Chains A and B, each alone.
Chain A
């Protein structure tokens, strides 16, 4: 990994809750234009790591740098224009159209109808723009949430070198939708030189689009390597603490 192209640097990050270690000296970097998949059993620290990258939990140790600058040194608005997160979200409390929902990606700017439409179109969600967000199915809501992040990061204006974080983006999707969302993430990483970091329970998702994989166990980074080296029966067995074998599987083309 060429460190001069690293957009995100995680340096010996540690976090504890009481006596429990949630993260311990996790270090890795993600280049611009690269996709990183974070894998691990339930409770391995994937979501805690994503929360740390999203800056919504304080670190007990280590540092996180984005674009050469520690996260704490960024102003909230500057950071919001370059870093987005998609994670499980609480229901929206009030009736709201899909277009208005997407526009909340930039709450302090006047809504840009063209950019909202472009973001919805990227996620094949434009037919729903006038629908009430709450009436969409879970999978449809997820695509609208992705559109919100694309709008937030100025995808249609071609803003480069952003950081897109996704915590289990495909958890509730059917196999066709899953493939669509993975390809979308990969496309923006390559087209706009974004760093994309996503967590998943499915090694096949990592195989599908990730350049690198990070295997976590008990809050530590077990292995960080190019996906083709990181994922095999031995490493995955170590990661999940159970024998794992490769077998043929169904995949949407």
Chain B
């Protein structure tokens, strides 16, 4: 945990300095930065590094909580359909309404509508102790399918420029965020992460199965509702501004679990740190490797995360 925190601090510092417009760190400490350097640092670099930390925390903790809730290591934040709903909202804003700048608002509205719909459907159907989780999962599958269809229809109407904007947004990016946007993301993520960590004992007991978790005192149906609400809200806020950053929500909890075991009270905080680290590094690579061209950060998270995860997973199976 300490090692990961130190790595995160180093990565974040490096990330502040490196980029298309390098900022020498020694001069930051001296206070001898030029006005333009200062402006790059405070208006571009710092919000960007913060956003990538926050995005990593949101995707990773949501993924960890959903994996415990669904008792399935394949669960990830996209499972409940929020990122694809946000994508549909963004596509609608861009293509139908022609608002390139209102992308995030469209995404937030799209995600919000889906979240409300899902909660209403859950109130009616997911009250069963054992079948409810499957219901929730199938709702997510249905939402994903509907949103994919909507996006496909809209892209048929889109111009080439709109298609490129949309594709880039959907792959995720931590670039060009304003301070108020970063603060909104950070607040939502912090509240969400706190709420999830309060649920970690109950999430841990779900490893026994819904029925046994109920027997040891967990109110399973209410827990399910709360986790669905918190994770979707968190993911919606981040996705609206940064797009869907692939793989972090799946990989970070796995890596954390292989490091500290399955108990959510240890997995959640470590996933948060690992998710932030993965996103900061991915963002750094995305803009440094082919500067001044920016690569999509979602692709980089996968490129960084996949080998690490494959190594950890195969190492574990050979040890058993």
Q: Which residues on A are within 8 Å of B, measured CB to CB?
A: 54-56, 76-77, 79-81, 83-85, 87, 89-90, 92-97, 100-101, 104-108, 132, 135, 148, 152
Contact = CB atoms under 8 A, between A and B. Distances in A.
25 contacts: A54-B214, A56-B130, A56-B214, A76-B217, A85-B211, A85-B215, A87-B211, A89-B212, A90-B209, A92-B207, A92-B208, A93-B73, A93-B207, A94-B73, A94-B207, A95-B316, A96-B207, A100-B262, A104-B205, A104-B216, A105-B216, A107-B204, A108-B202, A132-B320, A148-B208
A107 B217 contact: yes
Contacts of B263: 100
A105 B216 CA distance: 6
A107 B205 contact: yes
A92 B262 CA distance: 10
- Most B C-beta atoms less than 10 A away, residue of A77, A90, A101: A90
Contacts of A97: 261
B320 A80 contact: no
Nearest to B204: A107
Contacts of B262: 94-96, 100
Contacts of A94: 73, 207, 257, 262
A107 B201 contact: yes
B219 interface: yes
Interface in B209-235: 209, 211-219
Given A56-B211, A90-B71, A95-B316, A106 B216 contact: yes
Given A108-B201, A132-B320, A135-B320, A83 B215 contact: yes
A48 to B, nearest CB: 13
Contacts of A95: 257, 261-262, 316
Nearest to B127: A58
Q: What 8 pairs between A and B have smallest CB-CB spacing?
A: A80-B217, A94-B262, A107-B205, A93-B71, A77-B217, A90-B209, A107-B201, A85-B215
Contacts of B320: 132, 135
Nearest to A57: B129
B208 A76 contact: no
Nearest to A111: B263
Contacts of A152: 215-216
A65 B208 CA distance: 26
Of the four ranges (under 10, 10 to 19, 20 to 34, 35 or more), the interface on chain B belongs to: 20 to 34
A148 B320 CA distance: 24
Interface of B: 67, 71-73, 129-130, 201-202, 204-205, 207-209, 211-219, 257, 261-263, 316, 320
B217 to A, nearest CB: 3
Contacts of B73: 93-94
Contacts of A105: 216
B257 A54 contact: no
A53 to B, nearest CB: 11
A111 to B, nearest CB: 9
A83 B201 CA distance: 19
B320 to A, nearest CB: 7
- Most A C-beta atoms less than 10 A away, residue of B72, B211, B216: B216
A83 B72 CA distance: 28
Contacts of A56: 129-130, 211, 214-215
Contacts of B217: 76-77, 79-81, 107-108
- Most B C-beta atoms less than 10 A away, residue of A55, A83, A107: A107
B128 to A, nearest CB: 9
A95 B320 CA distance: 10
B124 to A, nearest CB: 16
Nearest to A134: B320
A206 B215 CA distance: 25
Nearest to B217: A80
A89 B218 contact: no
Contacts of B130: 56
Contacts of B219: 76
B208 A89 contact: yes
Contacts of B211: 54, 56, 85, 87, 89
A56 B214 CA distance: 8
Nearest to A96: B262
A95 B217 CA distance: 23
A96 B209 CA distance: 14
Contacts of B261: 95-97, 100
A80 B257 contact: no
A107 B205 CA distance: 6
Nearest to A132: B320
Nearest to B216: A80
